[in-house]
């Protein structure tokens, strides 16, 4: 009996380690007016926890600031932020359906934002199927679940003073609410419940990306500061496929316009050359010659200014063509740091388990149950 209890305790421990752990997810920011679809029953309370007495059986809640005060369906909220809690059914914000609690905050300039307050493991069940296909092997989804859990807890610690911990989009990791949930991705979260990645006893910044294009990137080459566990390793991704290789064409004025919109002072683009590359062939510095002079910028800043999807990675070569257009030929998608999702999928197809996948991409880390002191 004692042995049985001990085994039961060990099995339950990872789950209990995260019981009650929550996360604040920014669903929608800087809105003039925000709509919350209600499919069920909700209650509202103000910033001091006082229940607001009002009828909320309407299918749509409209949030906006009028004369500087937050209003819900035209009724002022005395002490924001407003909290809306689903007690039955679901709510929908920005296409994300969820059953939890929403916090509506007033922002400067008469704008509003919506933040979901979620149970951590529930949150992860909305992240894993959005970040990795439910058609992939269970072990790959488990690796994604552990990386996503670690990333979320790491962000929660580092954003502790802010209004939210993570965003629901690619700026953090994609959260899709209940919309994409599937039995296999739920299972990946449940079977790794509470497990996180640590280095030296501390949570790691478990970055991941779509496809590295051959080798992953040392974090120092992209974001400036080297980190022991985010080093360049073999990508393991398949050699072909649309994410592996890409080609993009831009006219001089398209590049000029995009950079001007982001506040760069730039004239007519005359030439673009790669001035420096990392060991894994990613552009770390780009020099743009234009009619008013020269603009030298980091490869990552160029990608950010053009649009993360517009220039899928910094692993590219650029050529000016006879017609005066610029041809970018590249490999991979995303910043290239940490776990490569397509490479992880390939490792899964080769029969590797989630521990092997994670220990390949994150150098010298441990996989262990979460403790608050990590
Ligand atoms: Zn890769």
Q: Helix, strand, coil: what percent of the chain each, to 5? A: 25, 35, 40
The answer to whether residues 107 and 68 touch, using CB atoms and an 8 Å cutoff, is no
The answer to whether residues 203 and 197 touch, using CB atoms and an 8 Å cutoff, is yes
Q: Tell me the CA–centroid distance for residue 78 and ligand 1, in Å.
A: 52
Residue 192's pLDDT band, with cuts at 50, 70 and 90, is very high
Q: Tell me the CA–centroid distance for residue 363 and ligand 1, in Å.
A: 15
Q: Tell me the CA–centroid distance for residue 349 and ligand 1, in Å.
A: 14
pLDDT over 70 at 13, yes or no: no
Question: Rounded to whole angstroms, what are the CA distances from 260 to 223, 303, 305, 325?
Answer: 23, 14, 9, 18
Q: Tell me the CA–centroid distance for residue 207 and ligand 1, in Å.
A: 13
Q: Tell me the CA–centroid distance for residue 59 and ligand 1, in Å.
A: 45
What is the average pLDDT across 204-215? Answer: 93
The Cα diameter of the chain in Å comes to 81
* Whole-structure pTM value: 0.86
pLDDT digits (tens, 9 = 90+) for 159-177: 888 899 999 998 889 999 9
pLDDT digits (tens, 9 = 90+) for 244-303: 889 999 999 999 999 999 999 999 999 999 999 998 889 999 999 999 999 999 999 999
The predicted structure's pLDDT at residue 108:
86
pLDDT over 70 at 18, yes or no: no
pLDDT over 90 at 54, yes or no: no
The predicted structure's pLDDT at residue 53:
72
d(CA 77, CA 63) in angstroms, rounded, equals 10
Q: Tell me the CA–centroid distance for residue 117 and ligand 1, in Å.
A: 33
Q: Tell me the CA–centroid distance for residue 334 and ligand 1, in Å.
A: 10
The predicted structure's pLDDT at residue 225:
86
Q: What is the DSSP letter of 339?
A: E
Q: Tell me the CA–centroid distance for residue 181 and ligand 1, in Å.
A: 25
Question: Rounded to whole angstroms, what are the CA distances from 161 to 85, 203, 284, 345?
Answer: 23, 18, 32, 36
Q: Tell me the CA–centroid distance for residue 196 and ligand 1, in Å.
A: 22
CB atoms within 5 A of ion ligand 1 belong to 212, 235, 237, 340, 343
pLDDT digits (tens, 9 = 90+) for 63-89: 999 888 899 988 888 888 999 988 888
d(CA 352, CA 347) in angstroms, rounded, equals 5
Question: What is the rounded end-to-end Cα distance, in angstroms, of the chain?
Answer: 33
Q: Tell me the CA–centroid distance for residue 88 and ligand 1, in Å.
A: 43
% the chain with pLDDT above 70: 93
Question: Rounded to whole angstroms, what are the CA distances from 306 to 48, 217, 260, 264?
Answer: 43, 21, 10, 12
Q: Tell me the CA–centroid distance for residue 305 and ligand 1, in Å.
A: 24
Q: Which two tokens stand for residue 320?
A: 């000016």
Q: Tell me the CA–centroid distance for residue 298 and ligand 1, in Å.
A: 22
What is the average pLDDT across 197-201? Answer: 96
The answer to whether residues 280 and 216 touch, using CB atoms and an 8 Å cutoff, is yes
The answer to whether residues 81 and 65 touch, using CB atoms and an 8 Å cutoff, is no
Q: Tell me the CA–centroid distance for residue 24 and ligand 1, in Å.
A: 30
The predicted structure's pLDDT at residue 17:
54
Residue 1's pLDDT band, with cuts at 50, 70 and 90, is very low
Q: Tell me the CA–centroid distance for residue 338 and ligand 1, in Å.
A: 10
Q: Tell me the CA–centroid distance for residue 364 and ligand 1, in Å.
A: 19
What is the average pLDDT across 5-20? Answer: 53
Q: Please report which residue ranges of the chain form alpha helices under DSSP H.
A: 2-18, 120-131, 138-158, 183-191, 219-223, 252-261, 299-306, 341-349, 354-361
d(CA 99, CA 84) in angstroms, rounded, equals 11
Q: Tell me the CA–centroid distance for residue 112 and ligand 1, in Å.
A: 39
SS (H, E, C) 96-155: EEECCEEEEEEECCCEEEEEEEEEHHHHHHHHHHHHCCCCCCHHHHHHHHHHHHHHHHHH
């Amino acid at each position: 009996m004692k042995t049985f209890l001990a085994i039961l305790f060990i099995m339950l421990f990872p789950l209990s380690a995260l019981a009650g752990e929550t996360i604040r997810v920014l669903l929608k920011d800087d809105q003039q007016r925000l709509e919350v679809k209600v499919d069920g029953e909700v209650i509202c309370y103000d910033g001091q926890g006082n229940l607001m007495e009002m009828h909320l059986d309407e299918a749509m809640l409209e949030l906006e600031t009028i004369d500087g005060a937050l209003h819900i369906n035209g009724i002022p909220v005395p002490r924001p932020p407003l909290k809306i809690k689903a007690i039955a059914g679901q709510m929908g914000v920005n296409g994300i359906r969820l059953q939890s609690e929403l916090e509506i905050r007033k922002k400067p300039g008469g704008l509003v934002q919506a933040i979901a307050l979620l149970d951590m493991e529930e949150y992860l069940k909305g992240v894993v199927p959005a970040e990795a296909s439910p058609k992939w092997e269970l072990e790959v989804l488990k690796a994604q679940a552990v990386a996503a859990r670690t990333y979320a807890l790491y962000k929660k610690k580092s954003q502790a003073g802010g209004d939210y911990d993570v965003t629901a989009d690619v700026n953090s990791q994609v959260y899709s609410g209940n919309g994409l949930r599937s039995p296999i991705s739920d299972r990946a979260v449940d079977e790794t419940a509470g497990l996180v990645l640590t280095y030296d006893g501390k949570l790691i910044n478990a970055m991941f990306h779509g496809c590295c294009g051959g080798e992953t990137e040392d974090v120092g080459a992209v974001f400036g500061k080297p980190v022991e566990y985010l080093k360049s390793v073999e990508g393991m991704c398949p050699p072909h496929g649309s994410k592996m290789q890409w080609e993009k064409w831009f006219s001089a004025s398209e590049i000029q316009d995009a950079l001007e919109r982001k506040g760069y002072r730039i004239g007519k683009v005359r030439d673009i050359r790669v001035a420096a590359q990392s060991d894994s062939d990613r552009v770390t510095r780009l020099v743009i010659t234009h009619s008013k002079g020269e603009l030298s910028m980091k490869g990552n800043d160029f990608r950010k200014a053009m649009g993360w999807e517009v220039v899928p990675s910094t692993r590219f070569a650029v050529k000016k063509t006879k017609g005066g257009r610029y041809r970018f030929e590249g490999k991979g998608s995303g910043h290239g740091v940490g776990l490569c999702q397509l490479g992880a999928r390939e490792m899964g197809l080769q029969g590797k388990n989630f521990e092997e996948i994670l220990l390949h991409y994150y150098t010298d880390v441990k996989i262990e149950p979460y403790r608050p002191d990590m």
